[in-house]
Amino acid sequence: MATRTVYYIEGDGIGAEVWAAARPVLNKAVEMAYSGANKLDWQELLAGEKAFAETGEYLPKTTMDALAQADLAMKGPLNTPVGKGFRSLNVTMRQVFDLYACIRPIKYFKGIESPVKRPDLVDMVVFRENTEDVYAGIEYQSGSPEAKKLIEFLVDELGANIDITAGVGIKPITPAGSKRLVKKAIDFAIAEGRPSVTLVHKGNIMKTTEGGFRAWGYELADEEYQGKVVREGADGEGVIIKDRIADAMFQNVLMYPEQYSVIATTNLNGDYISDALAAQVGGLGLAPGVNMGDKLAFFEATHGTAPTIAGKDLANPGSLILSGAMLLEHIGWGDAAALIHASVEKTLAAKKVTVDLASQINGSTQVGCKEFGELLLANL
């Protein structure tokens, strides 16, 4: 018998609702797949508004201490006020625990009615760098002493042309950060028998940052994967490594999704493209993800807190449930994950779905978050 401890954070907004629907599905799938021999031991940690209400802190030390020793965790959405308030809790945890790879598989489920012609050809896994680029959080507000000082240095010392009233952000991208992200993507492609890895960048304009990401990705492939990885158009066998400029890639994944399998990209590009891909196959309500380092794998719902529908039984628990299925695959419990995927397809085929999916599926019946979870449970 194997018991795996999973630390979990309920999250803000719709967090409590999606967790209440998700955990029974995950537990039942494990029980059915392994006849009770395996089980998940859930240990709650506090973060966000629930933590503040109980401890006066949004990210208590006890939570951070527990995560520092953990290898598995899951979380619901945490609130990040736009333009004010505390620093993003999500970003803080990614940086503190060096969760440098945001991994999001995007695949079509039968029953979804998509805005594109061939959503069934969408089967991609996005590896998004998670600690550098804009998520490094180095920015200074317009008119602040820090912004003025930085602008004066850039103008006086380096000859830059920047208005003194500008808000300023710095976009750091390193060789080491880029290479470890690309390495994770290539290792995944090799292990899973995927045909290609595509480096997505805006290196034609941002030559030293985005262009650096591209160059360092190719360097890594040449240095560490000879005989296993081959550049697009070159002779040889193995996983094909290629690159695409970000704006062209947005067109390509719509028109030629069958040409792309694993995507490795910088932070901001990955944020955009993973959501755009999710929209082709049902939206964020069915989009799982994990933030992963070399020790801790932190699975999470990819949508936000959705405060306008919180407490109204309207949320879709699918993202959290499918993130749980990713966790099960990660620890080698793939049979339980397969049961969850089959249940999702069966439930979608019956057309009893939450409001976000009902708006996309003709002839569907809208059900609440709680009932959708119960349907997924019954269809295991």
* Residue 284 DSSP symbol: G
* Residue 214 counted as an annotated binding residue: no
Of 28, 75, 202, 260, catalytic:
202
Rounded Cα distance between 154 and 150, Å, is: 6
Cross-strand pairs, 41: 5
Of 8, 108, 135, 260, catalytic:
135
Residue pair 198/242 in contact (Cβ under 8 Å)? The answer is yes
Asked about 135 being catalytic, the answer comes back as yes
The number of residues making up the chain comes to 380
Rounded Cα distance between 135 and 92, Å, is: 10
Nearest CA-CA partner of 324 in 18, 81, 86, 110: 18
* Residue 313 counted as an annotated binding residue: no
* Residue 94 counted as an annotated binding residue: yes
* Residue 161 counted as an annotated binding residue: no
Structure tokens at 376: 């997924």
Of 65, 117, 222, 247, catalytic:
247
Residue pair 104/47 in contact (Cβ under 8 Å)? The answer is no
Asked about 202 being catalytic, the answer comes back as yes
Rounded Cα distance between 194 and 239, Å, is: 7
Structure tokens at 46: 């506090």
The helix/strand/coil state of 92 is helix
Residues tagged in the binding site annotation for Mg(2+): 271
Catalytic site residues?
135, 202, 247, 271
Residues tagged in the binding site annotation for NADP(+): 316
Residues tagged in the binding site annotation: 88, 90, 94, 104, 128, 271, 316
